[in-house]
A and B are shown apart, each in its own frame.
Chain A
Amino acid sequence: MAETMAQPSNPDLLAEIKACFADAVINEEQTADEILTIWVTAQDLKPLCKVLRSKLSQPFDFLFDLTAIDETTRQHKVIPHRRDFTVVYLLRSYARNQDLRIKVALSADAKEVASVTSIWPNANWYEREVWDLFGIKFTDHPCLRRIMMPTTWQGHPLCKTHPARATEMGEYSLSDDTRDLEQEALKFNPAEWGLKPQGNPEEFMWLNLGPNHPSVHGVFRIMLQLDGEEIVQAIPDIGYHHRGAEKMAERQSWHSYIPYTDRIDYLGGVMNNLPYLMAVEKMAGIVVPERVKVIRVMMCEMFRILSHLLFYGTFAQDIGSLSPIFYMFVDREKLFGIVEAITGARMHPAWFRIGGLAADLPKGWDKMVTEWLDYMPARMADYDQMVMQNSLIKKRAVGIGAYDTATAIDWGVTGPGLRATGFDWDLRKKRPYSGYENFDFEVPLGTRGDSYDRCAVRVEEIRQSMRIIRQCVQNMPEGPYKADHVLTTPPPKDRTMQDIDTLIPHFLGVSWGPVIPAGEAMMEVEATKGSNAYYLTSDASTMSYRTRIRTPSFPHLQMIPVMAKGQMIADLIATIGSIDFVMADVDR
C-alpha cells in the first residue's frame, strides 16, 4: 500500500516543519501506518498548528480527526514523552496528499490544552467530544459542553477508570425525581450554548426539530430560531444515538468487535469492516491475498450502491416525492438477495475477517451479480427522469444549501459532499487501498456544491460502482480467501491436526483471540458517506487499547448552522436530506 501513495517522504516534511518552527521540541514516533507522528508540548501546540495551517508552502488545511487516549493502564511500548493522557490531532494537506499526526502529552493533574477551533472550525465538536469523554479541557473553546453524554452525566466514560461493563457498575434505576431532572436538562437555553441574543425575542420562535422528526433520519435534534419560516440560527444537538462503540472496543477481542463496526454506519454493512480490519492487519503485518482484496472491493461497492440508493430515495421523499423510494427499495431488495446469498446476512453481514473473509464466494454468485448489473441501468434511467430531471425537484434543490470547496475543507467535509463542490478527491484514486488501483472507474464531480449536486454526484457514483462490480465479476482471481498468517482469525485449519506448531497458535487464536503486536495504525476508506477511518492502538493484548472511529457524518452535521442560515424550513429539510448521514455514524 505504502508504495502506491504518491506522498513526499516523511523526513522531508519533518525537516520543513522544524525549519518553520525552530524553537519547539519535536520528537518523532514510528507508527505502523507510516504517518509522520510527532510529539509536541501543550504550549507549542497552538503556535505549531498556526504554522502548519498558514505558514507552510502547502498547508495542512484539513483537520481530519482530533481525539485522545487515556494512557494510564499501558503495559507495553514505553515511550519516554508519554504521560497520562495523549491528545491526538490528525491533519491532512490535500495539496501534498500527506498526513501528519500530532500528539500532545498531558498529565492527569493538568488536563488542559489550547483549543484549535480558531484554526480549524471543525475542531469545535471534536474538542467537545474529547472534553465529554476524557475530561480534557480546551482553553478558549467557544462552548465547551458535553456533546455525547447528557449534561447531567457524571464522569468521563472513555477514561480507563470508568467501568466498561454493566456488571462493573451499580444497578440502574430511574426515580421520578431523576427523570424530571433529566427532562429539565433537555430544555434548550440559548445562553448555555454561548449564543448571543439576536433581535427582539418576541419576534422569533424557537422550534425544536427532533430528536424525533420524520426528516432527521434518526435521533437528531436541531434547535431553530425562526423568523416566520425563515431560519435565523440553527443549533444541531447530537448524542441521542450514542452507544459507546469506542468503549466497547476495549472489552471485545479484535475478532469479536467486527460485528460492532457493521453498525457504525448501519447502511454501509461490510464497508465498515474494511478500515477496521485494514488497521488490524497493518499492525499484525498481514498481507491479504488478491482474491480477498477483490471480493472485499466488490462487497464494499455493493454496499455503496445500497446506501446511495437509500439516500436517493429518501432525498426525493424529503422533498415530497413519495414514489421513488419504493422503486429503489425493490432494487435494494434484489441486491440484498445477492448479499444474502454471498454472506448469509443482509444489512450487517460482519463478513470480513482479520486476514481474509468468513467464507469463499458461493457457486453461481457471478450469474446473480451479472443479472442484477444488467437489470439496473434501465431503472437508473427511469430515476433520472423521475427525480433528477423533475423540474419541481430542481427548483427545490438547485442552489439550496450550497458551499464552496474552501468552506467544505474548513468544516471537514469529505466524500460526495466535498466532490459536489468540484474538488477532485476520492481516496480510492488518491490513495488506493485494497487494490482499487487496478480498477477502471471515474470520480464524478459537481460544480455548485448545492443539494442537487450532492445528489447528482451520488447517482453517478452508483453507476461507477456498478462498473467496478462488473470488473470484479470479470476478473475475479483464483486463490485462498484467507491469508496464510498466524494471526489470521479464524486461522486456516487444514494443517492443525498434523502439526503441533500450527495447532497451538490455532487453539490460542480461537480461544483467546489473536494478540496483535503493540503499536498503532489508522486506516481509512472512502465509505458511502465520506472518509471513514479506524485509528487503533494495540497494547499487545487480545483487546484493543483504544479504538477511535473517525466517521464522515460527524463533521458533516457540524456544518448545518452554516448551511441553514437564511433558509426556509423546507430548504433545511432538503439540505439535511442531501447530506446523507445516519445518526449511528455520528454518535457511534
Chain B
Amino acid sequence: MPELELMIMIALMVAILVPTAAMLVWFERRLLGFFQQRYGPNRVGYFGILQSLADLIKILFKHDWIPPFADRPVFVLAPLIGAMAILMSFAVVPMAPRLVVSDSNIGLLFFLAMTSMAVYSVVLAGWASNNKYAVLGGMRAAAQTISYEVFMGVSLLGVVILSGSFRLSDIVLAQQDMWFVFPQFIGFVVFMIAGVAESHRLPFDLPEAETELTAGFHTEYSGIKFALFFLGEYLGMMLISMMITTLFLGGWMGPWLPPFVWFVLKTMSLICFFILLRAALPRPRFDQLLEFGWKWMLPLALLNLVGTAVVKLWGDF
C-alpha cells in the first residue's frame, strides 16, 4: 500500500521537523550566548534543553488575541500560509537514499515555488494587521523577496546544467565525483546569501528589523500565531541548510558514516554558520540591500549561469 507508506512518511517528517525547529530556537540561543560571552537559557532541564517546551506551554496558554482593527480571516491565515509553504518544501528534500516524501522530477522547481509562496505570509500579515509598522515590514518583505528570488533561481541553474536534472536525488548522485560547491562556487555563495534573505535572518531581517520597525510584519501577532511565524523562520533556516547540503555539498554522501548522519552533520554545520552570521553582522539599509541584490548578486548569478553553460557545451563537443 504505497499511500499508507506515504502517509506514514509525511507524519514522520512533520513529527521530526516541527520539534527540531523548536529545539533549534533553544540551540540558537545557547550558541548565541556562547558567541556573546554569556550563558543563554540554561535553567529548564539539562543545559536548558527544555526551554523550548516551556516557551511552547507559555505560548499555548496565551490569550489568542486578534486586534479589533485587523482583517480577521487574512490575519489568521497569514502565519499558516508561511509555515505550511515551508513545510511543504521539505517534501522534495532527500535526506538519505529513498528517505524522501516525493522524489519528484521537478523537485527543485517545487522548492522555488514554495519559497515564493512563503512571502505571501509576510505581506498578508503586514497588510491584515492594519498597523503602520507592519505595513512597512510587509512592504520591505515584498521588495526584498522579489529581488532575491530572481537570482536565487538563477544561481541554481548552474547546478541543473551540471546534473542535467531538476530531481534532487539525481543532483545528489551527480556529485559522486565532486561536490558542486567547487565547480559552482559562485552559485553556492549567491544561493546562500539569497537563502538567508529568504528566511529573513540577520543581516537580512529588514522586514522585522527590531530597532527600526519594532517587530515589523508581526508587530500585532502574539500567542500561537506568533509562534507559527517563529516556527516558519526556523523551518526556513533548516530548509535552506538542507537545500545547500543537497545541491552543493553532496547531500547524504560521505564515507564511513550512514548517509542520514552525513546529511544531518552537513545541515547542522550550515545552521551553525547561519547563527554565527547573526551574531557577527549588522544590518544594511533597505536600499543598500536591494542595490546589493540587483547590482551584484544578479549579474554574478547570470555570469555563473553563462559560464557554466559555456563550459558544459565545450565539454560536450
Contacts and interface: CB of A to CB of B under 8 A. Distances in A.
B216 to A, nearest CB: 11
B37 A327 contact: yes
Given A392-B281, A392-B282, A571-B285, A320 B37 contact: no
B286 A229 contact: yes
Interface string B187-226: 0000000000000001101000111111000000000000
B211 A317 contact: yes
Nearest to A392: B282
Nearest to B282: A321
Interface in B10-52: 32, 35-38
Interface string A564-582: 0000111101000000000
Nearest to A327: B37
Contacts of A207: 132-133, 136
Interface string A99-125: 000000000000000000000000000
A573 B37 contact: no
A322 B36 contact: yes
A152 interface: no
Contacts of A214: 210-211, 214
B221 to A, nearest CB: 16
Nearest to B33: A326
Given A229-B136, A320-B202, A323-B35, A570 B279 contact: no
Contact of A392 (B32, B213, B279, B284): B284
A331 to B, nearest CB: 10
A392 B280 CA distance: 11
10 contacts: A213-B214, A320-B283, A321-B283, A322-B32, A392-B284, A393-B282, A395-B285, A396-B282, A396-B285, A570-B283
Contacts of A322: 32, 36, 202, 278-279
Contacts of A323: 35-36, 279-280
Nearest to A395: B288
B287 interface: yes
A571 B288 CA distance: 12
A540 interface: no
A392 B282 CA distance: 7
A327 B32 CA distance: 12
Contacts of B210: 214
A396 B38 CA distance: 27
Closest 3 CB pairs of A and B: A320-B283, A321-B282, A326-B36
B38 A570 contact: no
A320 B286 contact: no
Contacts of A330: 37
Contacts of B288: 395-396
Interface residues of A, number: 28
Interface of B: 32, 35-38, 132-133, 136, 202-203, 205, 209-214, 278-288
Interface string A450-480: 0000000000000000000000000000000
Contacts of B283: 319-321, 392, 396, 570
A215 B278 CA distance: 19
A231 interface: no
A564 to B, nearest CB: 14
A392 B214 CA distance: 21
Contacts of B211: 214-215, 317-320, 573
Nearest to A386: B280
A205 interface: yes
Interface in A164-187: none
Interface string A366-410: 000000000000000000000000101101100000000000000
Given A215-B211, A229-B136, A318-B211, A570 B286 contact: yes
Contacts of B285: 395-396, 568, 570-571
A53 B255 CA distance: 82
Nearest to B279: A323
A410 to B, nearest CB: 28
A322 B35 CA distance: 11
B213 to A, nearest CB: 8
B282 A316 contact: yes
Contact of A320 (B35, B38, B132, B209): B209
Contacts of B214: 213-214
A330 B210 CA distance: 23
Given A395-B284, A573-B211, 15 more contacts: A207-B136, A215-B211, A229-B136, A319-B211, A320-B281, A321-B282, A322-B278, A390-B282, A392-B281, A393-B282, A395-B288, A396-B283, A568-B286, A568-B287, A569-B212
B255 to A, nearest CB: 36
Contacts of A390: 282
A318 B283 CA distance: 9
Nearest to A314: B211
Nearest to B202: A320
Contact of B132 (A205, A316, A326, A396): A205
Interface string A227-245: 0010000000000000000
Nearest to A574: B285
A168 to B, nearest CB: 40
Interface string A303-327: 0000000000000111111110011
A208 B284 CA distance: 23
B282 A215 contact: no
Contact of B203 (A215, A327, A392): A392
Contact of A319 (B205, B279, B282): B282
A323, A390, A568, A571 interface centre (most CB from chain B within 10 Å): A323
A10 B203 CA distance: 58
Contacts of A568: 285-287
Contacts of B203: 320, 392
A396 B287 contact: no
B278 A326 contact: no
A573 B132 contact: no
A164 B285 CA distance: 48
B291 to A, nearest CB: 10
Contacts of A208: 132
B149 to A, nearest CB: 21
Contacts of A393: 282
Contacts of A318: 211
B40 to A, nearest CB: 11
Given A214-B211, A215-B212, A326 B37 contact: yes
Contacts of B212: 215, 569-570, 573
Contacts of B284: 392, 395-396
A327 B281 CA distance: 15
B267 to A, nearest CB: 23
B29 to A, nearest CB: 12
